[in-house]
Amino acid sequence: MRLLLTLAMVALVAMPALADRDMTGGTCDILAPAFLVPEAVNTIEFLITNNSPDTQWTMDVTFTFPECFEITGGYYTDSGSQLDALYTFTYNGNVVIFVDGDGGYGEIYGNGDTCNFFVEVIPHCDCGEYSIHWHQQGDDWGDPPFFVEGDVLINVCDMTATQESSWTSVKSLY
């Protein structure tokens, strides 16, 4: 009985320490390309960083594209130091999910570990800026939040501003 009471006391003391386990600080950046070419296969390189302040590991990463995007493939590379290369890739329509394939606690560890994800898409869209939603799911250890999410922007077509010219503006230079 005394052992049971001791274990209960230890669990009560440890609970506040587990309460701060979350995915806060995780990020997603698009590294390449600068813009997408419509009606062509483009490979988008995402950098996912797990900046969890504790022991949350990333179990899965989801990218949701606008409806006018067609996903044709995907893969990943380990840019961090501890990824066990166990992610599986699935996609349906405009959503792609990379999931920890071994069913463990996750593969992208906290405190700055990273992974590069590559998604091949064909944009059937007009030229313009589009939002891609990302979702990084933690390992459910401790209390919520077990995920972090946000949006990154990408252009379809080269949206670089150029100075307009006309015969009048050229003629005025002389």
Positive or negative, the Cα torsion across 80, 82, 85, 87? Answer: negative
Element (DSSP H or E) covering residue 87: strand 87-92
Q: What is the pLDDT of residues 41-85, one digit of tens each?
A: 999 999 999 998 877 888 899 999 999 999 999 988 865 545 555
Q: Which of 6-10, 62-66, 155-159 has the lowest mean pLDDT?
A: 6-10
Q: What is the pLDDT of residues 100-154, one digit of tens each?
A: 877 677 888 888 888 899 999 999 999 999 999 999 998 877 666 689 999 999 9
- The pTM score is 0.78
DSSP H helix total and E strand total for the chain: 2, 9
Q: Which domains does the chain have, with CATH numbers?
A: 23-160 (2.60.40.740)
Name the nearest CA neighbour of 120 among 36, 21, 8: 36
